[in-house]
Structure 1
Amino acid sequence: MNLVRQWRYWSRFLFFPGQLLRDKYRSFRELLQHDRKCLELLSDLEAIHYTGTPVDWSRVTRLVVALRWSMSNLVRSLDAMHPDRYLPLIDRFQQLEQQLQQAVSLPAEDTAPPYVITLAEAASAAPLAGGKAHQLGVLLNRTELIQPQGFVITATAGRLLLATNRLREPIDELLGEVDITDTPRLHSISREIVDLITGAEIPPPVLDAVSSRLDQFQRPSHTTSWAVRSSAVGEDGVFSFAGQYQSLLSVTDADLLDAYKTVLAGKYRPEAIAYRIRCGLADQETPMAALIMEMVEARAGGVIYSRDPEQRDVPDDPAPIAVYAVAGLGASLVDGSAAPEIHHFIRQPDGTLDTLDTTTASRKADSGSPLLDPATARRLAGWGQSLENLLGSPQDIEWCQDETGRCLLLQCRPLLDRQETTDATGTDTPPVPVQPLLIGGLSAAPGVGIGVVYLAETGDQLQETPPGSVLVLTHLPPTLAAIIDRLQAVVCEGGSRASHFATIAREFGLPVITGLQGATTALRQGDMVTVDGWSAIVYPGRLDTLAERYPQRTTILATPFAERMGAVIDLVSPLHLVDPTASNFRPQHCRSMHDVIRYSHEKGMTEMFSLVGRSGRELSGAKRVDGELPFTLSIIDLGGGLTMDAAHRRTITPKQFASPLLRACWRGLSHPDVTWHEGLLYLDWQEADRMAGGIVNLKSAKLGSYAVVARDYLHLMLRFGYHFAIIDSLAGDEPEANYLTFRFKGGGGSYDNRLRRLRLVSDVLTWAGFSTHAHGDLLDARFDRRSAAETISRLVAVSIIQGKCQLLDMKMDSDDSIAALVESMKKPLIAVIDGSP
C-alpha cells in the first residue's frame, strides 16, 4: 500500500467508519457489474470459438480489449473492498493480461520500402508481391512462356497508404461490426471502407517509386495502357480468392494511381470481406499489392485446367486437360457472361496429348467458327501439362492470344478439385417425427444429447449423478464441472449462457438448455429423452437421427483464425478454480481469465460477509429499531433500505423498512411459529460476560444485532445468546448476480449438542435448496443464481429457522431427536418457499 492510499484508508477507518462501509458496499456493487460484463464478454468469445461463427479478427480484438478493461475494473473493485489484501491477484491478472495481449496481437505491419519491384524480383518476394504477381515472377524465371511486361506496387506501399492516412483503426472498427449473414449491413460497411481508401492520399514515396518505374517503360511512340490487377498476399494459394478482388483494364498513365487505389479498395468489396472471413484470415494477413501489366489487344482469351474433374468418366482415371476460350480477353468467361469454346486432351503414357473426339471434346463459340486452331489449342494444353509438372499440382491458368497469334500467360494458380470438396450440408432438413416435451428455453451450449433424466436438487445428489445422464436442475452451479464426463446434456430452469458452467459446457461440447421453466416437474426421473441444444427443445425417447444430423464438432477448422482463437480461448475460458474451499483456490493458481473472474466474485462475497469489524466502529450513526422482538437491532441504510421519513430519526419501527430483504427477515423472525421467551434479552452473552468487569450497557450496538441494508441488499448479524448467525444477500433484477449466504456458529450447550443443532439446520436448509458445508460447529450455506422472489422466500425461511433454533443446543442431547425436529421445522417453511400467503 503506498503512503497516500494508506493515509486515506486509515483516516476513513478512524474518523469516518460509516463512510468506509458505504465505500465497501459501492465497490461490491461495481464488482458485480463488472463480473456480469466479464462473463458476457467471455461468452461472446466462446460463442465465436466453439460454434465456428465467422467474424473478422478485429471483432475478437475488440472483445479482448473490452474483457481486459472490465476485468481490470473487476480486480480493482475487489482491491478497493480491502486495500492491498489482493495484491497477489493483481499481479497474476497482469501476467495473464500480458499473455492475452500477445495472443490476440497480429504481427506489426511493415511499411518499409521497396514500394515498387519488377516481376522477376517478385519471384523471391511473395510477402511484397502477393500471390498472383509472385507466381508469375516464378514462371517468368523458370519457363520460356511469354508474359506481358509489368511491375508490382508492393504490399508495403498499401500498408503505408493506410498508415499515412490513419485508416487502420477506423477500418478495424468497421470490420469488427461485420456479420456476413447481414447482407445490407455488410454492403454498407464495404462502402464506408472503400470510400476511406479511394479518398486517401497516396504517400509521396509511393508516388515517386511508381513515377520512376513508368519512366522506364516510356518510348517515343508509347501508347501503352495498363491492366491494374489485384495481387493480395494469400491470393492464388490455399485460398484462391478467385473473382473476389477487383482489377481494371485499359488504364492510362494519368489514371493509373486512381486505379491503384480502386484495386486497394477492392479488398473490401462485400464478397471479398465475406470470403476472407470464411477462410479464417485476418485483414492484416492479406495486404494488397497491385500487379501493373501492359494491356494486350486480345483476339481470344480464356483458362486452362490442367485437370478437368467434371469430365472424368472413371474416378480413378486421370482427368483430361481442358482449354476454354472466348473472344477477346477471358473476363467474359470467368464472369459467366459468354459461352466458351472447350477443347479436351487426354495424356498418353509417353507424355503426348490426344484430342478427344469432336462430339465430346469441342464445342464452338457462338460465332460458329473456331476461336482456336487445333495447334494452338494443343500448345495451350501443353502449357497446362508442363506447369502442373513444374509446380507439382493441378493448375488453373489464365491466358490470352494477341492479334498476331502470340499466346501470353496472365495468371497461374492451384486448381481445386471440386469433387473432393463437395459439401452436402445444404440439403433440406427433414422435420423431427415426434412432438416435443418442452420448448421455450435458450441455447446456452449447442449440440444434441441423448440420455436418461436425472433430477438433482442438492450437492449430494449431484455427486451421485449416474453416467449417461441428462441432468435436470434449477440452476447451474460451477461445481457441475466435476461431473461433466457423466453428462449427455443439461436442462435447467434458471441459469444463463453467461454462467460459469455454460462456459465449460461449450468448451466440452455438452448441450445445455437454460431458462426452461417447468423442466423439473415435466421431466420424470429415469425417462429417456433427446436434448436439442441447437433449438432448445427436449423430445421424448431416443432420436438417433437427430444426433446424426447435427454431429458434435470435435476439432476446430485448421485456419489461422482458429489457431489464434485457440490460443486466446486457452487463456480466457477454462475454469480451474471450482471449489472455494479447496487448497488451490488462490490467486497463484489462476490459469485463465475465467479463474480470475471466479476468484474475484467469490472473494467479493466473502468481503461482504465480514462487512462490519469486531469493534463495530462502522455502525456509528446507526438507527435503532424499536420493535416487538426482544433484541437490539441497529441499522445502517446504504440507500433505499428505509423509508424517506426515517432519514432524520435515531429510532425507527419495522413499518419504516423499505428493503424487501429486510422486511423478509423481520417477517421470518416474527413468524407465529417462532417463540421468543418473555423477559429474556437476546444479545451477545459471550461478549457481555467478557465485559462483565466493567459497566455494561445491554443496549449497546456492540452486544446487539445489526443490519446494513440497501434496496436490494442486506447484511444482517444476529447475536442470540452464545451463538451468532450472519445473513448476506443480494436480490435484484439479475438472477445470475443474486445470492443468499448464511453462516451459523456457536451456542451455550455442549459441543455434541451444538453439532446436533448444526445437523438439524443443515438438513432443513438442504431440503430448502441450499448447498451446505459444515466444519466443526460452523455451518456455511448458500442459495444463489435464482430470481429475487426465490431468494427473498429463502430469506424468510432462514429467519424462521434461526428463530426456531434458539437455545435448542441446550436440549438436543440425543441424535434420535434430529429427524423429528427436521420434519417439524419444514412445516412452516413449505408455504413460504411455495410463495403461499
Structure 2
Amino acid sequence: MTVRLDDASPAHGGKAAALGALRRAGLPVPDGFVVPAAVAPRDLPGAVAAGSRDLARRAGGPADAPVAVRSSATDEDGAHASAAGQYDTVLGATGTDRVVAAVAACRASAAGPRATAYRAATAGAAPGTPGPGGLAVVVQRLVDARTAGVLFAGDGRVVVEASWGLGESVVQGAVDPDRWTVADGRVVERRTGSKRTRVDRSPGGTTTRAVPPSDAGRPSLDDDTVLRLAALGRRVADVRGGPQDVEWAVDDAGTIWLLQARPVTAALPEPAGHGESAGVLRGTGASGGRASGPARVVRGPDDFASVRPGDVLVCRETDPAWTPLFGVVAAVVTETGGLLSHAAIVARELRLPAVLGVPAATDVLRHAGTVAVDGDAGTVAPA
C-alpha cells in the first residue's frame, strides 16, 4: 500500500516522480515513501505504519522519527502549471496517528478553495473540480535545517534565495530572503535580506520565532555553499531535462539536501536597474508586466470581501490561502517575499504583475488611491 520513494513514477504525481528520479540519479534527496492515491482512508493507518517501519529499516532511527508530509498530485509540479503551495504540506509529524492525519489533510486540500481557484485560473477548470487522478502523498524524513530556501536553475544562471531554519519562511513569502546569482561558476550578485522570523521543528510540528538581530542582517549562507547549491541545481536541471525550481535545506553538519524539484513554468524577470524618482516605492520585480488600479490594503482573510476586480492587492505577505484573490486583482504588492516564493511563482504563471519586498507598503499605500505597478522595474508609483 506504499511505494518506496526510489520507485516512484509519474503515476504517483509530479512531486514523487521528480524526487524518485533524483534519488535514482544519486542526488541527495531524503529517503521516504509514497502513499498512492488509491489507498482507501480506512487503510491509511496500516499503510503509514508499514511504510514508516520500512523507512526506519533503510534510513536508521526510530519508526516515529519526524517526517515531512507533502502532496503529490498528478496536476502538480508539471511543465505548464506548478500548483506551488496550493496543496497542504505538514512538517514535523511524528507517530502513525499524526502522519495519518497529515496524509488526510494533504488529500483534503485538493478540494480546498485555493487549489480549486488555482485550477480554474490556470486550466479553465470549474471551481470545485478535483484534480485529475487523485492525490498521492510523499512522506520523507524531515531535515532539521540550519538554513533552507529555493533555487532557480536555468537560462545560464542560478538564483538562490535563503533564510534561517526550515524553508517555509522563504516559500510562504514570510521573510525578505537573502539572494545570490551565480553565473559562469562564480557569484555575480549578492543581496542580504532582513530575515526577521524563522520556522523550526518543535514537539507539536513547527514553531515560528524571531531571529536575533545579529543574525537577521547577516547572510544565511557563505559563497562556497552557494556555489555547491548552484552545482546541484544544474545537475537537477540536467536530470530533469530543463530549468527547475528546487527547494533545498542545509543541516547543522553542512550537508545539502534536495527536498523538491519542479519545472520552471514561467521565466524569472530580468534584473532591472533603479533610478531615483520622488514618490516611487521600490521592491523586487517578481512577476513582469504593468497594471494600474486602486490600492487595496488587505491585512488578512477578514479583508478579502473588500477586494474588487481591478484592485492592486497590497499586503504584508501572501500565503497560498490568498490564491483566490490572484484571479481578481490587477497586480500584487507585498512587504516581504522573494523571487522564488509560492506567491511569485503563481503570479508569473497568471501573468499578474507583482512587486515584492516593498518596505512598509501597507502603511504607505493605505490612502494612496490609484497606483501603477511595474513588475519589470520593481516599482510602485502614483498613477
- Please indicate, yes or no, whether the TM-score normalized by the shorter chain is above 0.5: yes
Q: CA deviation at 1:225?
A: 1.1
For residue 417 of structure 1, the aligned residue among 246, 267, 270 is 267
Give the 4+ runs in structure 1 shifted more than 6 A: none
Corresponding position of 2:88: 246
For residue 280 of structure 1, the aligned residue among 107, 124, 148 is 124
For residue 29 of structure 2, the aligned residue among 138, 147, 153 is 147
Corresponding position of 1:403: 252
Corresponding position of 1:270: 113
Q: Deviations over 1:9-31 (max 9, x none)?
A: xxxxxxxxxxxxxxxxxxxxxxx
Corresponding position of 1:320: 157
Paired residue secondary structure (1:229): strand
Q: Deviations over 1:586-644 (max 9, x none)?
A: xxxxxxxxxxxxxxxxxxxxxxxxxxxxxxxxxxxxxxxxxxxxxxxxxxxxxxxxxxx
Corresponding position of 1:354: 186
Task: Decide whether aligned partners of structure 1 residues 397 and 218 sit closer, same or farther in structure 2, where only a CA change above 3 A counts.
Answer: closer
Write the distance in 2 (CA, Å) between the matches of 1:239 and 1:286: 16
Paired amino acid for 2:7: E
* TM-score, length-scaled by structure 1: 0.28
Q: CA deviation at 1:203?
A: 2.2
Q: Deviations over 1:680-723 (max 9, x none)?
A: xxxxxxxxxxxxxxxxxxxxxxxxxxxxxxxxxxxxxxxxxxxx
Paired residue secondary structure (2:257): strand
Q: Which has the higher contact order (CA 8 A, sep 6+)?
A: 2
> Superposed, which structure 2 residues align to 1:528-547 within 5 Å?
none
Write the distance in 2 (CA, Å) between the matches of 1:372 and 1:422: 28
Which structure shows the bigger proportion of residues in helix conformation?
1
> Superposed, which structure 2 residues align to 1:90-101 within 5 Å?
none
Q: 1:365–1:371: 8 Å Cα contact kept in structure 2?
A: no
Q: 2:73–2:131: 8 Å Cα contact kept in structure 1?
A: no
Write the distance in 2 (CA, Å) between the matches of 1:284 and 1:242: 14
Write the distance in 2 (CA, Å) between the matches of 1:284 and 1:331: 24
Paired amino acid for 1:152: V
Write the distance in 1 (CA, Å) between the matches of 2:163 and 2:293: 37
Q: 1:303–1:324: 8 Å Cα contact kept in structure 2?
A: yes
Write the distance in 2 (CA, Å) between the matches of 1:284 and 1:340: 32
Write the distance in 1 (CA, Å) between the matches of 2:293 and 2:223: 46
Q: Does 1:136 align with 2:19?
A: yes
Structure 2: any 5+ residue segments left out of the alignment? 196-214, 271-286, 295-383
Q: 1:324–1:342: 8 Å Cα contact kept in structure 2?
A: yes
Write the distance in 1 (CA, Å) between the matches of 2:219 and 2:29: 24
Q: Deviations over 1:119-149 (max 9, x none)?
A: 1111xx312x11101100011112x221111
Q: CA deviation at 1:284?
A: 4.9
Corresponding position of 2:174: 337
Q: 1:344–1:362: 8 Å Cα contact kept in structure 2?
A: no
> Superposed, which structure 2 residues align to 1:582-661 within 5 Å?
none
Corresponding position of 1:744: none
For residue 293 of structure 1, the aligned residue among 134, 140, 159 is 140
Write the distance in 2 (CA, Å) between the matches of 1:414 and 1:147: 17
Corresponding position of 1:234: 75
Paired amino acid for 1:300: T
Q: Deviations over 1:37-72 (max 9, x none)?
A: xxxxxxxxxxxxxxxxxxxxxxxxxxxxxxxxxxxx
Paired residue secondary structure (1:321): strand
For residue 45 of structure 2, the aligned residue among 176, 197, 207 is 207
Paired residue secondary structure (2:13): helix
Corresponding position of 1:382: 231
Write the distance in 2 (CA, Å) between the matches of 1:276 and 1:391: 24
Write the distance in 1 (CA, Å) between the matches of 2:174 and 2:183: 28
Q: CA deviation at 1:422?
A: 5.2
> Superposed, which structure 2 residues align to 1:682-693 within 5 Å?
none
Q: Deviations over 1:78-100 (max 9, x none)?
A: xxxxxxxxxxxxxxxxxxxxxxx
Larger Rg: 1
Write the distance in 1 (CA, Å) between the matches of 2:256 and 2:138: 19
Q: 1:153–1:289: 8 Å Cα contact kept in structure 2?
A: yes
Identity, % of aligned positions: 32
Paired amino acid for 1:363: T
Paired amino acid for 2:19: L
Q: 1:326–1:365: 8 Å Cα contact kept in structure 2?
A: no
Write the distance in 2 (CA, Å) between the matches of 1:221 and 1:379: 28
Corresponding position of 2:66: 225
Q: 1:236–1:414: 8 Å Cα contact kept in structure 2?
A: yes
Task: Decide whether aligned partners of structure 1 residues 221 and 411 sit closer, same or farther in structure 2, where only a CA change above 3 A counts.
Answer: closer
Paired amino acid for 1:239: A
Paired amino acid for 1:131: G
Paired residue secondary structure (1:145): coil
Paired amino acid for 2:92: S
Write the distance in 2 (CA, Å) between the matches of 1:392 and 1:150: 24
Paired amino acid for 2:36: T
Write the distance in 2 (CA, Å) between the matches of 1:265 and 1:274: 15
Q: CA deviation at 1:280?
A: 3.1
Write the distance in 1 (CA, Å) between the matches of 2:223 and 2:289: 37
> Superposed, which structure 2 residues align to 1:189-208 within 5 Å?
202-204=41-43, 206-208=44-46
Paired amino acid for 2:248: W
Q: CA deviation at 1:267?
A: 1.2
Q: CA deviation at 1:234?
A: 1.6
Q: Deviations over 1:342-399 (max 9, x none)?
A: 111113xxxxx1221xxx4232554233321221110101112222233232110000
Task: Decide whether aligned partners of structure 1 residues 226 and 361 sit closer, same or farther in structure 2, where only a CA change above 3 A counts.
Answer: same
Paired residue secondary structure (2:228): helix
Q: 2:33–2:55: 8 Å Cα contact kept in structure 1?
A: no
Q: CA deviation at 1:403?
A: 1.0
Structure 1: any 5+ residue segments left out of the alignment? 1-114, 162-201, 308-317, 348-352, 430-837
Paired amino acid for 2:98: D
Task: Decide whether aligned partners of structure 1 residues 334 and 319 sit closer, same or farther in structure 2, where only a CA change above 3 A counts.
Answer: same
